[in-house]
């Protein structure tokens, strides 16, 4: 999972570096050839995009640095943590829900079973074990969830 996230971020860094060093200088050169810079929309758009790309690159490099510092040995071996798959039951409705705890950068927003380890639900479950009840403070109120099943990151990677 970590390798996939690093690859995804590295690919984006590579793409943005190319845009910053090749595409944007060409766009700026063309815009400069049009003359008056005060009312040159192409020039201002290229400058704005250049600022965005530089900020995004800085953010991605910071995320990659933090990802490199993740110590896999600190991920709980017997409780919920990064990379865990967990099945919970809502105490109020009795409904079962399955989740995979992922890094925010690895989330697929089209997959409702993925939750970020940094989300309120993810944070409340960290280090909890099968049988534990978790109180999750959400904008709509407090949810009580009982952990029914758990497969940890270490168990998934041992298979």
Which residues does the chain have with pLDDT short of 50? none
For residue 34, what pLDDT is reported?
A: 78
For residue 11, what pLDDT is reported?
A: 93
Measuring CA to CA, how many Å separate 110 from each of 79, 93, 126? 26, 24, 23
Measuring CA to CA, how many Å separate 55 from each of 19, 52, 64, 81, 91? 13, 5, 14, 30, 44
d(CA 123, CA 139): 15
The CATH number of domain 2-70 is 1.10.287.180:
yes
Residue boundaries of the structural domains of the chain: 2-70, 74-158
Q: If you search the block for the tokens 């060409």, which residue do you land on?
A: 26
Which H or E element spans position 100? strand 96-102
Full strand arrangement of the beta sheet holding 96-102: 114-116, 96-102, 85-90, 141-151, 133-138
Query: Cβ distance 136 to 146 under 8 Å?
Result: no
For residue 124, what pLDDT is reported?
A: 93
Strands 114-116 and 96-102: what pairing? parallel
R_g of the chain, CA atoms, integer Å: 22
The CATH number of domain 74-158 is 3.40.50.1360:
no
Strands 141-151 and 96-102: what pairing? unpaired
CA angle 64, 68, 74 (to 5 degrees): 135
* The model scores a pTM over 0.85: no
DSSP 36: -
């Amino acid at each position: 999972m970590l390798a996939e996230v690093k690859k995804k971020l590295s690919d984006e860094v590579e793409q943005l570096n190319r845009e910053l060093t090749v595409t944007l200088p060409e766009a700026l050169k063309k815009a400069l050839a049009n003359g008056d810079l005060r009312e040159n929309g192409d020039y201002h758009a290229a400058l704005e995009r250049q600022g965005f790309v530089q900020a995004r690159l800085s953010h991605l490099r910071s995320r990659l640095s933090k990802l490199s510092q993740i110590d896999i040995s600190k991920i709980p071996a017997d409780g919920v943590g990064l990379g865990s798959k967990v099945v919970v039951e809502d105490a109020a409705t009795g409904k079962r829900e399955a989740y995979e705890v992922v890094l925010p950068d690895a989330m697929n927003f089209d997959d409702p079973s993925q939750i970020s380890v940094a989300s309120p639900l993810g944070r409340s479950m960290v280090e909890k074990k099968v049988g534990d009840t978790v109180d999750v403070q959400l904008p709509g109120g407090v949810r009580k969830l009982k952990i029914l099943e758990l497969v940890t990151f270490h168990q998934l990677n041992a298979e």
